[in-house]
Amino acid sequence: SAVISQKPSRDICQRGTSLTIQCQVDSQVTMMFWYRQQPGQSLTLIATANQGSEATYESGFVIDKFPISRPNLTFSTLTVSNMSPEDSSIYLCSVEGHPSGANVLTFGAGSRLTVL
């Protein structure tokens, strides 16, 4: 079974709508990270989500646009709100330390969003 499961794998969305991406880990982890990968680009960190506290957002990303939930140590969601075509990207969830060891990030397979 997969270490990190992301849903949906891909989706096509209409402008102005919102979509929630789920990330499920098969083991309890302290820190979960959400990344965005725009077409042909590298990965950019959106926010860090720790269980029991509000997510910490990177410069250029705000909670109103990318609300994150972290209800327990194995699950997180990222919502992309009021989408525009510029939000078309792959969104990746990652965790630290499982199963590749401390200080190593393991990634989910990503969720490819296309906004029309």
Partner 1 sequence: AQTVTQSQPEMSVQEAETVTLSCTYDTSESDYYLFWYKQPPSRQMILVIRQEAYKQQNATENRFSVNFQKAAKSFSLKISDSQLGDAAMYFCAYRSTGANSKLTFGKGITLSVRP
Contact between 53 and partner 1 (CB under 8 A)? no
Contact between 18 and partner 1 (CB under 8 A)? no
Residues 6+ positions from 103 with CB-CB distance below 8 Å: 96, 97
Nearer to partner 1, 3 or 13 (CB): 3
Nearer to partner 1, 14 or 42 (CB): 42
Contact between 103 and partner 1 (CB under 8 A)? yes
- Residue 52 tokens, joined: 């029991």
Beta strands in the chain (DSSP E): 4-7, 10-13, 19-25, 31-37, 43-50, 56-57, 68-72, 75-80, 89-97, 101-107, 111-115
Nearer to partner 1, 86 or 101 (CB): 101
Q: Please report, for residues 3, 14, 32, 38, 64, the alpha-carbon distance to residue 24 in angstroms, rounded to integers and kept in the order given.
A: 8, 25, 10, 22, 23
Contact between 28 and partner 1 (CB under 8 A)? no
Contact between 89 and partner 1 (CB under 8 A)? no
Choice from 21, 25, 29, 33 touching partner 1 (CB under 8 A) = 33
Amino acid at 54: E
Residues near partner 1 (CB under 8 A) are: 31, 33, 41-45, 48, 56, 58, 90, 92, 94, 100, 103-107, 109-110, 112
